[in-house]
Structure 1
């Protein structure tokens, strides 16, 4: 049964749209909203009507209505759906159950109606009524069951299990009979753990349709329980969480229930931009004991540099009576609190939080969380100049992963990189080179994703820079200098991921500074060519302009970087920009006072005093190398 409008025909039973016999794919929300409009074409549908008809009990923002209507207009034309201010939306295209007449039919002139024409008209009218009843029925069905169209999930598989057991059978059993999801096994050897570290990169490698989702995970077992760490990845959104139960059978059931709950929350209809802190808070009113939402709220406020609010959500998460003492969520919450305390310089509280995390991890063998614990504890020891504790922590980390998690080569790789970094910090060159070599060996042996080479190239670049400094007057130094640039260039050729984005940014900054030092300004500008205009890159462009003597252009770029960095909570770039602007605004005392006021509030007094001493003692701009 079809409906026709302009060049389109819509199959009511199959919910399929065609344009001139070409199938036009529709998302679930698009099909549901189109059914709503076609089911009652004379009515102006309010936003509430559309929300109820398309999303039912899901908690979504009004933004999804605007997005879906915009998508339908892009298919049918801007005049297809008319907006009535403060009222709603109405379908405007003339719709019929009969196909449009051909040109030959239009050329026939009928002078007298045939005797049977009245019967034809009657049949036609009956057919129209049947079609309209079918549409109304489908529309009502959509209101009560919004999951007529299933979500397509593609299961990541890997030859090497990344935990105590492969999770493929568990996911297949949990999802295969779900009324809401289709599950397909993806025959590409993509690592679930790598997907946790670089979801956009792995999703791009998967080659699946843009409306589909990747799903992957790892199962961990202890004497007390089984834990499933899972990830859901789409082109516009990624989500990670944990499910815990007393047995594998209970875990399978719990995973199925969790995925259905995420569907009800609106995860599969949303994009990352719509999950604002206000949206998460609204969801928490409906699901106050949901650990993922509490953790997400903390992360949102942490990003906004409202750490006290973030701590409040983390403390609520730790105190949840609905999660086990061994819950990974408790470990993550303690870790995040420890990170905040460490950043604030409150080392006693940081140690206490990490000790609480360690107590949880003693009951839960989650390798990735153990790595976070070891990494943070080692850096905390370094910041306290307790090098003995730092090395002891690293030694215990290697011992743990050799004993308990032999199938986590990516974590072992990160352990070697961490050891190499910290050895470099304390000038232990023999150790740093040893662990860098071990990291490279793991990359090759286990064929880890190429994005991980960024960390190796970065350290080779730093080591060659050190060699260049030590041999600056010899020909050997020139060779090291060439290697330095080559390694940084290699980094920028690699995929950018959540794990290595900071390496990319550092490589860009180091290359720009290197070319400025050599007065190769064209090369410096070339590094930033076709790169997104982030505050940090605006700051780097300003440095190039200053080196070229274009102060007016530099000030304009710095002001832009300064303002946008504050909006983006990029405090480092905002501070760097404010300090340079302070130095360059001798002739504008009011502006200078503004920059100084910002620096006084957002930096430590000793650091600022040192920087201002440098500013007032020199005429050339600070380099920030």
Structure 2
């Protein structure tokens, strides 16, 4: 038994005790803690940790950071030290001698064929132990996930409705895909749709495992299934509407097989997803879910003309096939495209039509999303009363549709717009209301990240702002809230630099799991300290990584910084490269914000 402070750790059983009571750790957290404690003099790289704790599986390095952060939260923030570009090391002194034996299932593999043989042997023994030890359902979850589908039974939106249809649908889908249902899982379909990424993690799915479920309801006299699949990097959502359950199930099986035949879920770099979707569309041109995902990607990438072409196709297809959910969605997307182009009058007309289609088909959950975009037009007109009416109505529709996350987002958006329009009292009122809804719904902590971040932005005192930003960064990171995490890290680094606390700012940057952002923040820190060579080196690394990953949020400011330096040094070759990147990638508000500097540096 190893003792430190109020804690005792049993490296053999991998159980952590605090004041005699066992601390609730996941299997991965226990193994990670054992790895660090049993070799306190060693700095473990992320690759070492992935090999030892995740058995070399292809998982994101972000997973390591999240588990390190969890251990720090449970034990102490200074328990584990980050060594930039090196790894992590245990820091707390022990009250007794550390056991010399390596912890179970955490021995470090050597990168040799002999090492791989040992790993395979150990893995086989470990698997047998797991099969004997784990509860039956956990074993079933892991084996099913290798399919690669883990099928969480589809549920209904309201208890007591469509019970027979639900059971029939689940049976047909399971048979059609050749996978069993996860019975008795600690996750429901409703919880899954509210927080798909975190619920997937709760089941312990890793790597290429896909968790699938959905919600069945009635709409316009027909069955409507909202289907969702969640992978490691991204999600897939589809609306499937048909007169009978057999047709719904058949469409589910066909669409799932189609998307799984692509690389949509396996691509780690987001920049290749649009091309993969285009290929999937070529193979399945009448799949409306593919069209929606393609349109979303092109709107995100500010390719309005391409998005418009796909919108027209989706609208025509939905009307021919009589799919009101997709017709309303196509009109909603068209409205968003018009707003992006500054065509607000056209956007208003499109959104009005979308709202009518959704209302006629009793698609309350789609109506609520349409109202949120209509509120954006009212915000641009400085009409706070219209903003308030639209977003309160959006929240009410979400509640009627039993969509609590959409209700929370409506009040969060109302708080943000109230702040931007100068309504200080209302911004706190609605943000507190959103926070209370999260607490009432017992949602996981990832949902609090955006709310914490805006409490930080609203704070008047530096200490209060810092407290909220630190709280933001302590929340679990998901694909949906990663941008909030990066924004909060950027804000906190800027705050600490202003307070002349560069060492603390550097610690924040080093803990950011998105490597291009971490390099960008270190560039800011070094340049603020007049360490120009180090700052530019970090900026170049940030730019390179962002460029490869297609992350313009990092690539654009770094390219602008490096262009300025290249012009000053007279390096025309480098300057031409940065100008070309800026010309090809400058977008929206960033382009308007930096217009003067872009022109001054020759970016026309």
Deviation at 1:541, TM superposition (A): 1.4
Per-residue CA deviation, residues 158-210 of structure 1 (Å, 9 max, x unaligned), is 89849976785354243354472222324324453x53464332201123576
Aligned counterparts of 1:491 and 1:156: Cα–Cα separation in 2: 33
Aligned to 2:172: 174
**C-alpha spacing 1:483/1:564, structure 2 compared with 1 (3 Å):** same
Deviation at 1:319, TM superposition (A): 0.9
- Equivalent position SS for 2:238: strand
Give the paired residue count.
454
Aligned counterparts of 2:404 and 2:562: Cα–Cα separation in 1: 46
* Bigger Rg over Cα: 1
| TM-score, reference length from structure 1 | 0.64
> Which of 185, 189, 195 in structure 2 is aligned with 1:187?
185
Say whether residues 1:456 and 2:438 are aligned partners.
Answer: no
Aligned to 1:565: 546
Aligned counterparts of 2:292 and 2:186: Cα–Cα separation in 1: 31
Aligned to 2:414: 419
Aligned counterparts of 1:266 and 1:393: Cα–Cα separation in 2: 36
Aligned partners of 1:424 and 1:432 also within 8 Å:
yes
Aligned counterparts of 1:592 and 1:282: Cα–Cα separation in 2: 35
> Which of 474, 481, 489 in structure 2 is aligned with 1:500?
481
Per-residue CA deviation, residues 41-73 of structure 1 (Å, 9 max, x unaligned), is xxxxxxxxxxxxxxxxxxxxxxxxxxxxxxxx9
Per-residue CA deviation, residues 517-561 of structure 1 (Å, 9 max, x unaligned), is 112111111012243354333222111010111112222222333
Aligned counterparts of 1:393 and 1:175: Cα–Cα separation in 2: 38
Aligned counterparts of 1:418 and 1:221: Cα–Cα separation in 2: 29
- Equivalent position SS for 2:510: coil
> Which of 310, 326, 340 in structure 2 is aligned with 1:329?
326
> Which of 319, 344, 347 in structure 2 is aligned with 1:347?
344
Aligned partners of 2:230 and 2:236 also within 8 Å:
yes
Say whether residues 1:258 and 2:251 are aligned partners.
Answer: yes
Say whether residues 1:544 and 2:525 are aligned partners.
Answer: yes
Aligned counterparts of 1:515 and 1:77: Cα–Cα separation in 2: 46
What are the ranges of 5 or more consecutive residues in structure 2 without an aligned counterpart? Answer: 1-111, 118-145
Say whether residues 1:522 and 2:503 are aligned partners.
Answer: yes
Aligned partners of 1:152 and 1:181 also within 8 Å:
yes
Aligned partners of 2:387 and 2:414 also within 8 Å:
no
- Equivalent position SS for 1:430: helix
Aligned partners of 1:228 and 1:243 also within 8 Å:
yes
Aligned counterparts of 1:441 and 1:239: Cα–Cα separation in 2: 29
Deviation at 1:421, TM superposition (A): 1.0
Aligned partners of 1:150 and 1:179 also within 8 Å:
no
- Equivalent position SS for 1:424: helix
Aligned counterparts of 1:156 and 1:483: Cα–Cα separation in 2: 44
Aligned to 2:316: 319
User: Which segment is superposed worse, 452-461 or 575-584?
Assistant: 575-584
Per-residue CA deviation, residues 278-303 of structure 1 (Å, 9 max, x unaligned), is 54444434422111222233344445
Deviation at 1:228, TM superposition (A): 0.8
- Equivalent position SS for 2:558: helix
> Which of 466, 473, 479 in structure 2 is aligned with 1:485?
466
Alignment of 1:353-502 (within 5 A): 353-401=350-398, 404-405=400-401, 407-464=402-459, 467-468=460-461, 481-502=462-483
> Which of 209, 213, 218 in structure 2 is aligned with 1:216?
213
Aligned partners of 2:189 and 2:214 also within 8 Å:
no
- Equivalent position SS for 2:349: helix
**C-alpha spacing 1:559/1:599, structure 2 compared with 1 (3 Å):** same
**C-alpha spacing 1:545/1:433, structure 2 compared with 1 (3 Å):** same
Deviation at 1:321, TM superposition (A): 5.7
Aligned counterparts of 1:294 and 1:163: Cα–Cα separation in 2: 34
Aligned to 2:9: none
Aligned counterparts of 2:362 and 2:260: Cα–Cα separation in 1: 28
Aligned counterparts of 2:249 and 2:387: Cα–Cα separation in 1: 42
Aligned counterparts of 1:291 and 1:162: Cα–Cα separation in 2: 29
- Equivalent position SS for 1:289: coil
**C-alpha spacing 1:75/1:337, structure 2 compared with 1 (3 Å):** farther
- Equivalent position SS for 1:531: coil
Per-residue CA deviation, residues 553-579 of structure 1 (Å, 9 max, x unaligned), is 222222333344344443343332233
Aligned partners of 1:155 and 1:186 also within 8 Å:
no
Aligned partners of 1:155 and 1:184 also within 8 Å:
yes
| TM-score, reference length from structure 2 | 0.66
Aligned to 2:290: 293
Aligned to 1:27: none
**C-alpha spacing 1:530/1:596, structure 2 compared with 1 (3 Å):** same
Aligned to 1:225: 222
Aligned counterparts of 2:434 and 2:256: Cα–Cα separation in 1: 40
Deviation at 1:613, TM superposition (A): 9.8
Alignment of 1:105-144 (within 5 A): none
> Which of 574, 579, 586 in structure 1 is aligned with 2:568?
586
CA RMSD of aligned residues (A): 3.8
Aligned counterparts of 1:245 and 1:237: Cα–Cα separation in 2: 27
- Equivalent position SS for 1:153: strand
- Equivalent position SS for 2:330: helix
**C-alpha spacing 1:368/1:164, structure 2 compared with 1 (3 Å):** farther
Aligned partners of 1:561 and 1:573 also within 8 Å:
yes
Aligned to 1:206: 203
- Equivalent position SS for 1:215: strand
Aligned partners of 2:147 and 2:179 also within 8 Å:
yes
What are the ranges of 5 or more consecutive residues in structure 1 without an aligned counterpart? Answer: 1-72, 79-148, 469-480, 617-625
**C-alpha spacing 1:156/1:543, structure 2 compared with 1 (3 Å):** farther
